[in-house]
Each structure stands twice: as C-alpha cells, then as structure tokens.
Amino acid sequence: MKQLVHRELRRLLLLLVLGALAGWVLGYPLVGALLGSLYFSLIHIRQLWRLHNWLQKPQAEPPETKGLWGEIFDAIYHYQRQQLKSQFRLKQTLDRIQESSQALKDGVVMIDSKGDLEWWNKAAEDLIGLRSPSDRGHPITHLLREPRFVEYFDKQRYTEPLIIPSPIAEGRTLEYQVTLFGENERLMLIRDFTRMQRLERMRQDFIANVSHELRTPLTVLSGFLETFSDHADQLPQKWLRGLTLMRQQSARMEHLVEDLLTLSRLETSDFEPEVEPIAVQELLKSIRNDALALSGNKHQILLEADDHLKVYGSEKELRSAFSNLVFNAVKYTPASTEIRLRWYHDHTGAHLDVVDQGVGIDPQHLPRLTERFYRVDQGRSSNTGGTGLGLAIVKHVMLRHRGRLGIASQLGEGSCFTCHFPLSRINISTDQ
C-alpha cells in the first residue's frame, strides 16, 4: 500500500513536471503545472465517483481498476464479503434460536427495558393469548392486568416464580418466571402449572386427611393413658416407666398432628386479615407468660414493644408464628440465660426480633431451616419434643402477611429470628 501511495506521488510529480515543461515551451510554465495537477485531480475524482456508484449497489462487483484505487476497491469488497458472511451466520443462529424457542412447550416472551413486548413464541400465544403482530410494542402489564402479576413484574425481584390462574383458560394455572438480562430487559418463561398444582393439592389433601384421621384415635389413646396415670398407684410398678413413655410419645404425636393440620390450613385456606389491626404488644405479653411457664421460670424473658405499633393480619396465625419462635428460644437455650423480644418499626416496616443466647445454628443449616422436618440435630430436637414443623409454620404465616422471616445465628453464641412486616401491613396509632 505504501508503495502504491509513493507511486501516486511520483505520478503527481511527473504530471507537474510535464505540465510545467509544456507550459514553459508556450511561455506559461505555472499554468502548465496547474493543468498537470488538475488532470491528476480529475483522475481521482473519477475514481471517487466510481466508488460512490458502486457503494450504492452493495451486491455488485467492484469496478475494474489498477493501482491504489484497485487496492482500495478490493479491500472494501473483501470487508463487505466478510460482513455479509458473518451477518448470514448471525441470522442463521438467530433463526435456529427462534425455531427452537418456537418448538418449546413453555411460553417464552422477551420484554424490552420499558416493559413493552418485543418477541414471543407460539406457546406464549396459546398460554396467555398474545396476538402477533398486533401486541408487539404494547406494555405487558396492559395485556396481563391481574394485580398480582403487575406487582410481581414491577417489583423486579424475581427470585421466586409467580403462580396464578391463567388469564384465558378457566381452571388452568400458570407459572411465570422472569429473568433480567442486558439493560433492564426481561425474559419471561411461562409454564402450565395445572398438573403440578393438582398433584400439590392431592399431597395437601392427603396430609390433611391423614392428620385428621389420626386425631380421634390419638385423643382416645391419650385420654386412656391419662386415666391410667391417674390410677398409677393401683398399677404394677413395672408398668409405670412404659406408661410414662407412652404418655410422652402420645403427647408428641398429638403435637405433630396439630402442627400438620395448622400447616395444611395455612396452605389451603384463603387469607382473611382481621378488620381491626392487632395489638401485637398484648399478644407478645401473653406469649411471654406461656413461654415463662414452659421454661419453668428458668429463663429471663425481656419484652420491649412499641404499644402504638399494630399489624393487619390474623391474630390466631400470628400467635402461632410468634409462639413457635419464642418457645424455640426457650427450648434451645440453657436455663438462666436471657431471651429478648423487641417489637419496633423503621422506614421499611415493622419487625419482631426474638434474640436468644442459646446453642446457635451453624450457617450451613440456615437456608434449609424452614423446610418441613428439617432439623439441625436430630437428637437435640427429639429431646426437646419438637416436631420439625415450627419454622415452616412461621414462614407460611409470614408469607400470608406479605412479610418474611429473617434468621441470623452464630454457633455457640445465640440466634436472632426476625419477623419483618411491610409498611402496607402496619398501623401506627398516634393516640395516647
């Protein structure tokens, strides 16, 4: 290339010299040199014109020419070919991705950063009734207006999927899972959840029925065991230990059945918050008394509660959740240590801290702690008579109150369980 530029410069020099010589012969050397350079410029302007014309027709072959311009045409032509090839490859890949997405049974919807529909597959049309191409460019929340969907979509916290009834087919349930990518763009997967939900309902019904059926025989058994215990002095001595064990275990089974029934009620019933906000301070006072009775007054339970701070919810469910946390603090804490209950609010909402100085929990167990029957230490829990369902109940109650359970713990130092309630659920009265 450098050589070709040099050649052009030599050509310009030659034209200047020849022009000047011819001009000198005629008595005007400067005009001759000027005409020489004009001729040089015309040659290049012509090539520029050819380049312009050729670029208007990108598919055409480059104009035939040699030298510097020939090289330039070839380089552009080569570059164009490469671009076309990579464009073709890109298009093929895109087509294949779209083809495979079209073949998916699950709905796939691409949504731009403004929340408008960009692209979707055929399954999305069948599942949520999108119409192509008329819905393109419309906000997704104008087409899926269900308030739970709008809240889920706008919140931009997509850790959990959303499961709600289908907008177009009665009796069907859909699962929406949104993923953020690029610059606030969103990819939404939609799955028909009807079968899974039916199985889940069957599981819930099965547990509820079994628990219900076990309740009556258990009541009969523990009733008789209690009667036998009342007449223990008339029974042979060797039966007494067995009788004590049977009473303990039947009480444990009754507790388990009660917890299972509570959980299944939480899972299957509709949530109906009480009209009047609940005085949490009063509730905590009564739970504190029960916890002191459970501990045999061996623990110190301190209560610090904002008496103006109330919460909209179900008193029965909140009592069950808070009791589970406070009773756990008693169960997993050595006697004569301190348990602190603190009910307060800040700019994010209201919070109940249950802090103990007990055995603590290894951080590796924390993510699974609210699973049913999950126990950190099997031996320890059976000693304390636990069912392994307490924290699962707390988690469900908090979800129903649109709140969440937070757990922080240090092995050997103690734990802090916190029930967080959103601002929308609380009531701060200003009256004295």
Residues that bind ligand ADP (CB under 6 A): 324, 328-329, 332, 356, 358-359, 361, 369, 375-377, 380-381, 386-392, 415
- In this complex, which beta carbon is closest to ligand ADP, that of residue 146 or of residue 290? 290
User: Minimum CB separation from ligand ADP for residue 327, in Å?
Assistant: 8
- In this complex, which beta carbon is closest to ligand ADP, that of residue 192 or of residue 356? 356
Structure tokens that stand for 274 in this block: 């009480």
User: Minimum CB separation from ligand ADP for residue 151, in Å?
Assistant: 29
10 Å Cβ neighbour count for 350?
23
From the list 319, 290, 323, 213, the residue with the least C-alpha distance to 257 is 213
User: CA separation (Å) from 332 to 78, 383, 410?
Assistant: 76, 10, 13
- In this complex, which beta carbon is closest to ligand ADP, that of residue 107 or of residue 386? 386
User: Minimum CB separation from ligand ADP for residue 213, in Å?
Assistant: 22
Q: How far apart are CA 161 and CA 175, in angstroms?
A: 6
- In this complex, which beta carbon is closest to ligand ADP, that of residue 287 or of residue 359? 359
User: Minimum CB separation from ligand ADP for residue 338, in Å?
Assistant: 13
User: Minimum CB separation from ligand ADP for residue 267, in Å?
Assistant: 16
- CA angle, 274 then 275 then 280, to 5°: 60
Query: Looking at this protein, which amino acid is placed at residue 20?
Result: A
Look up residue 318 and give its DSSP letter: H
For 342, the 3-state DSSP assignment is strand
- In this complex, which beta carbon is closest to ligand ADP, that of residue 215 or of residue 365? 365
Element (H, E) at 353: strand 349-356
- In this complex, which beta carbon is closest to ligand ADP, that of residue 32 or of residue 414? 414
User: Minimum CB separation from ligand ADP for residue 356, in Å?
Assistant: 5
User: CA separation (Å) from 259 to 207, 282, 288, 387?
Assistant: 11, 24, 20, 8
Q: Going along 95-184, which residue ranges are E strands?
A: 107-111, 117-120, 162-165, 173-181
Q: How far apart are CA 33 and CA 14, in angstroms?
A: 10
- In this complex, which beta carbon is closest to ligand ADP, that of residue 176 or of residue 322? 322
User: Minimum CB separation from ligand ADP for residue 311, in Å?
Assistant: 22
